[in-house]
Structure 1
């Protein structure tokens, strides 16, 4: 096992993601134009509001992705003691996680993406890193553990190899602890 691995942005994947986002924005823009009656002269208020809201959200996310292209730092960084990921908004806000606190790692299919889900115990140590709403999204009350998700949609690796990397570093850190 290597001492440290840094995974950077795959520009081809990011470009594909941006083009699909722009395509969705264009479709939503056409939906807005249709809803305000540009084509048939009839105003459809509910579809116009829905299309405009979805358009603004998609446009915001697309612009945010465009601005993040300047960031040349690694999106996922793994070493013997900890890992950091910036592939989802919550993982980016959460920051560094120590391997000693990891309880489980799984692959999970969510929509069109396969995510590496890391279950983290010792939640008191990580309290205060996220807003209350974000904390409630990742905190499982029944097990009192956090579920952090890491995506490969912009990283230069596929889900299964990323999962294998997480597992190997996790197992390597537990052997060092013994």
Structure 2
């Protein structure tokens, strides 16, 4: 099989950023209301919640705005390996080998559907991830890593991405 490179879909990314910006605006209005700007009554719990959520969402929006300059492929699949940058975990993980893949699943997580790649031989990949990301990815009971890939910003939808991953994984068995 040939190598396939999947690039950022500007329209999908712009829609996602617009939606995130609208949520930021709503959270900002809630924050202003909570601090008593409109009625003169300070409300502590809504202030803390809306302020924290607004801060986190603004950071994510800024990171996504900065990543728009990245013109490189977001996911690369070929006969030997797979590589993706569509989630922070996948980006930090880097390149995985098809020989280590045990399973590939499609799972809805929050508002996104993710392709979940389960890898055996986790010691091979241990030094790549920070301790926080390692704890997220490593399933101690099964001695496996689970790496997630999103189709939310690329040119294909989640089921097509899943089918691509599965076809490359199965093709490695025929070589």
Q: Report TM bin, short chain.
A: over 0.9
TM-score normalised to the size of structure 1?
Answer: 0.96
TM superposition shift of 1:158: 0.8
Report the equivalent of 2:69: 70
Distance 1:7 1:54 in 2: 31
Q: 1:85-140: per-residue Cα shift (whole Å, max 9, x none)?
A: 00000000000000000000011111221111000011110011111111011111
Report the more deviating stretch, 39-48 or 79-88: 39-48
TM-score normalised to the size of structure 2?
Answer: 0.98
Distance 1:37 1:163 in 2: 48
Partner SS, residue 43 of structure 1: coil
TM superposition shift of 1:174: 1.9
TM superposition shift of 1:141: 1.1
Report the equivalent of 2:169: 170
What is the count of residue pairs matched by the alignment? 175
Distance 2:149 2:40 in 1: 46
Report the equivalent of 1:82: 81
Distance 1:60 1:71 in 2: 18
Runs of 4+ deviating beyond 6 Å: none
Pairs within 5 Å for 1:131-142: 131-142=130-141
Partner SS, residue 107 of structure 2: strand
Distance 2:74 2:150 in 1: 10
Distance 1:54 1:112 in 2: 17
Q: What's the C-alpha RMSD, in Å, of the aligned pairs?
A: 0.7
TM superposition shift of 1:70: 0.3
Unaligned runs of 5+ in 1: none
TM superposition shift of 1:56: 0.7
Unaligned runs of 5+ in 2: none
Distance 1:45 1:159 in 2: 40
